[in-house]
């Protein structure tokens, strides 16, 4: 019998809504033909955004949304996406090796409207690679200027008199690679110039510097050491890639993927440790602004990379992927004092998506379900949990893991059985009355257009004990 305990007197801090963020890039069918179909589409939509998607995200909760890239951001010129849609220029949409026709019908006003519809805080990623300091300053002024400048008036003519008040601004994306192939030092100097000027335009803007691996991070931190006040968030990305195929994975592949998801927490801690030297009070947040599993069928590089078979970065979305999300969220909760945001990549159809579509059809992936179940933690205080008597995974780590929070929702406890074959018999805290369980017939079970409800959570009243099937996630709450 495994016993899970929560320790209310050992808090980690608040689980900021920003830790349940998402990422929407103009890539594949994430934005165009994904969440955006345009107002003239026969698919029911609200001002161009699919109604079914808007409603599903309202229910799941999307507290934060980053846009428009990704690698796309360093080719994006915001002026192309404002004004009368029929007069907007058609450009080459470029990201991750794809080149598509991009009519700019989804631009700044549309994106920020989508954020309002789903209740998300926007996070705009600026263009460093092919843009200029002035261009990004103008975008900030256009969105946020509190006084009637020409740009603010143009914003008004385009339908929005009040400032949008966008707080989060990324200064480029992956500038060590697709965002300009910079050296850490040269990007660091660029960042200083961008951030210095952006601060004048909007002193309340929160600016995000582009990090990478520990080597790059150490170098850029040194470059910025006397200007660390210009940095509010330090961006890192973590994709899990050593996971075998998206569907036909083996038990070994499954365990390697669990290990990779688990190690995300360590990457956050290592990044924080590097920042400690120049930011001893921990003012700068770690922004894990892209994370998730990236299957080999949707990439030409990395272990097993097969190219992008769909040419859309669309990939399988199995129950395993949902278990990996639960594993990662445990770490996000524990690191909530240093992690300032985390954005799953990406929100619709691309990579580790909670929602997938095909034409007019739309279905929720197991990842959607685990995120919706976990949303009870949002805004609560994360507290320590302990697990005793668990069986072990092949690497010796416990099969059962947990994370908990307390707050307006009462105590909320997530328990994950990471084991591939064995169920776990659990003794649960005596306040826990309702359990929502996400499990399935196999770890590679997934939903699809034909079987949209194959993997679904189930709620049940529970007693003092609970059996968790292999590869499953349970959320325990007291009855309301």
- CA-to-CA dists, residue 221 to 96, 231, 280, 287, angstroms: 27, 10, 13, 15
* Cβ neighbours of residue 158 closer than 8 Å, sequence gap 6 or more: 82, 83, 109
151 binds ligand AHR (CB under 6 A): no
Query: Which residue among 121, 174, 206, 312 is the active-site one?
Result: 174
Q: Which residue number, 125 or 393, has a Cβ lying nearer to ligand AHR?
A: 125
Residues with Cβ within 8 Å of residue 150, at least 6 apart in sequence: none
- Phi, psi for residue 305 in degrees, rounded to 5: -50, 125
The residue annotated as part of the active site, out of 265, 290, 297, 312, is 290
* Residue pair 23/65 in contact by the 8 Å Cβ criterion: yes
Candidate segments 65-73, 227-235, 317-325, 423-431, binder of ligand AHR by CB under 6 A: 65-73
Cα separation of 434 and 419, whole Å? 23
One of 19, 22, 25, 81 touching ligand AHR (CB under 6 A): 25
Residue 233 CB: number of other CB atoms within 10 A? 24
Instruction: Say how far apart CA 227 and CA 218 lie, in whole Å.
Output: 15
Distance CA 172, CA 190 (A): 10
Q: Minimum distance from CB of 231 to ligand AHR (Å)?
A: 19
> Is residue 271 near ligand AHR by the rule CB under 6 A?
no
Identify the bridge partners of residue 7 per DSSP, sorted by sequence position: 384
* Candidate segments 68-76, 129-137, 162-170, 209-217, binder of ligand AHR by CB under 6 A: 68-76
Binding flags for ligand AHR, 311-350, as an x/- string (CB under 6 A): ----------------------------------xx----
Our answer to whether residue 174 is catalytic in this structure is yes
Q: Which residue, among 393, 421, 431, 418, has the nearest Cα to 472 in the 3D structure?
A: 418
Options 69-77, 240-248, 398-406, 435-443: segment touching ligand AHR (CB under 6 A) = 69-77
**Does 174 participate in binding ligand AHR (rule CB under 6 A)?**
yes
What is the pairing mode between strands 206-210 and 168-171?
parallel
Residues 89-128 that bind ligand AHR (CB under 6 A): 95-96
Q: Looking at 68, 69, 126, 296, which residue binds ligand AHR (CB under 6 A)?
A: 69
Q: Which of 71, 117, 230, 468 binds ligand AHR (CB under 6 A)?
A: 71
Stretch that binds ligand AHR, among 67-75, 277-285, 356-364, 374-382 (CB under 6 A): 67-75
Q: How far is the CB of 73 from ligand AHR (least distance, A)?
A: 8
* Six token digits for residue 220: 């850029």
| CB closest to ligand AHR, residue no | 70
CB closer to ligand AHR, 67 vs 332: 67
Closest CB 174 distance from ligand AHR, rounded Å: 5
Q: Which is nearer to ligand AHR, 26 or 333 (CB)?
A: 26
The strand pairing partners of 123, in sequence order, are 66, 168
Cβ proximity to ligand AHR: between 239 and 368 the closer is 239
Residue nearer to ligand AHR on the CB measure, 57 or 67: 67
How many whole angstroms separate alpha carbon 294 and alpha carbon 245?
10
210 is a contact residue toward ligand AHR (CB under 6 A): no
Nearer Cβ to ligand AHR, position 73 or 402?
Answer: 73
Which 364-423 residues touch ligand AHR, going by CB under 6 A?
A: none
- At its nearest, how many Å lie between ligand AHR and the CB of residue 323? 21
Q: Figure out which of the listed residues 290, 297, 330, 446 binds ligand AHR, where binding follows CB under 6 A.
A: 290
Of the ranges 31-39, 66-74, 384-392, 418-426, which one interacts with ligand AHR (CB under 6 A)? 66-74
Maximum alpha-carbon separation in the chain: 68
CA angle 12, 15, 16 (to 5 degrees): 135
Nearest approach, Cβ of 66 to ligand AHR (angstroms)? 10
Give the nearest distance from C-beta 268 to ligand AHR in angstroms.
Answer: 18
- Are the C-beta atoms of residues 474 and 414 closer than 8 Å to each other? yes
* Residue indicated by tokens 């120049």: 278
Between 95 and 401, whose beta carbon lies closer to ligand AHR? Answer: 95
* CA separation, residue 208 to residues 115, 188, 357 (Å): 19, 12, 31
Only one of the segments 63-71, 112-120, 248-256, 457-465 lies at the binding site for ligand AHR (rule: CB under 6 A); that segment is 63-71
Rounded distance between C-alpha atoms, residue 400 and residue 379, angstroms: 24
Query: Could you tell me which of 198, 197, 238 has the C-alpha nearest to residue 217?
Result: 238
Is 173 a binding residue for ligand AHR by CB under 6 A? The answer is yes
Contacts of 214 (CB under 8 A, 6+ apart): 270, 271, 274
Instruction: Please say whether the dihedral angle defined by the alpha carbons of residues 402, 347, 181 and 221, taken in this order, is positive or negative.
Output: negative
148 to 83, 99, 145, 152, 169: CA distances (angstroms): 18, 38, 7, 5, 22
Closest CA to 244 of 262, 235, 256: 256
Q: Does residue 297 touch ligand AHR according to CB under 6 A?
A: no
Residues involved in catalysis: 174, 290
Question: Which residues contribute to the site for ligand AHR (CB under 6 A)?
Answer: 25, 69-71, 95-96, 173-174, 290, 345-346, 351
């Amino acid at each position: 019998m495994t016993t899970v305990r929560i320790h209310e007197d050992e808090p980690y801090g608040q689980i900021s809504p920003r830790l349940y963020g998402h990422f929407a890039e103009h890539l594949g069918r994430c934005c165009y033909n994904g969440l955006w179909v345009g107002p003239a589409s026969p698919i029911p939509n609200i001002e161009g955004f699919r109604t079914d998607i808007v409603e599903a995200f309202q229910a799941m909760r999307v507290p934060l949304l980053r846009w428009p890239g990704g690698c796309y951001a360093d080719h994006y010129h915001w002026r192309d996406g404002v004004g009368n849609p029929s007069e907007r220029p058609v450009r080459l949409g470029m990201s991750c090796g794809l080149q598509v026709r991009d009519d700019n019908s989804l631009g700044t006003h549309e994106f920020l409207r989508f954020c309002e519809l789903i209740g998300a805080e926007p996070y705009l990623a600026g263009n460093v690679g092919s843009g200029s300091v002035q261009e990004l300053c103008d975008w900030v002024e256009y969105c946020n200027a509190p006084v009637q400048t020409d740009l603010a008036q143009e914003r008004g003519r385009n339908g929005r008199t009040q400032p949008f008040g966008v707080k989060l601004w990324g200064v480029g994306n992956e500038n060590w690679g697709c965002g300009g192939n910079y050296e850490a030092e040269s990007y660091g100097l660029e960042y200083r110039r961008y951030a210095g000027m952006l601060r004048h335009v909007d002193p309340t803007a929160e600016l995000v510097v582009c990090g990478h691996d520990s080597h790059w991070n150490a170098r850029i931190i040194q470059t910025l050491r006397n200007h660390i006040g210009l940095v509010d968030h330090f961006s890192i990305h973590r994709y899990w890639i050593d996971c075998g195929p998206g569907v036909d994975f083996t038990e070994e592949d499954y365990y390697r993927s669990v290990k990779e998801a688990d190690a995300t927490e360590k990457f956050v801690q290592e990044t924080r440790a590097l920042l400690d030297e120049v930011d001893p009070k921990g003012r700068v947040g770690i922004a894990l602004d892209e994370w998730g599993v990236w299957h080999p069928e949707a990439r030409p590089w990395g272990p097993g990379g097969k190219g992008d078979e769909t040419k859309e970065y669309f990939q399988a979305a199995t129950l395993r992927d949902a278990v990996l999300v639960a594993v990662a969220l445990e770490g996000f909760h524990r690191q909530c004092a240093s992690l300032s945001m985390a954005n799953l990549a990406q929100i619709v159809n691309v990579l580790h998506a909670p929602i997938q579509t095909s034409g007019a059809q739309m279905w929720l992936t197991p990842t959607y379900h685990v995120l919706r179940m976990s949303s009870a933690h949002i805004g609560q205080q994360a507290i320590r949990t302990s697990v005793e008597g668990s069986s072990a995974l092949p690497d010796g780590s416990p099969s059962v893991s947990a994370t908990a929070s307390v707050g307006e929702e009462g105590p909320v406890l997530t328990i994950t059985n990471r084991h591939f074959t064995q169920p776990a018999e659990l003794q649960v805290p005596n306040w826990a009355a309702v359990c929502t369980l996400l499990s399935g017939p196999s770890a590679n079970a997934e939903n699809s257009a034909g079987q949209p409800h194959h993997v679904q959570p189930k709620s049940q009243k529970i007693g003092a004990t609970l059996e968790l099937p292999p590869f499953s996630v349970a959320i325990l709450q007291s009855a309301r």
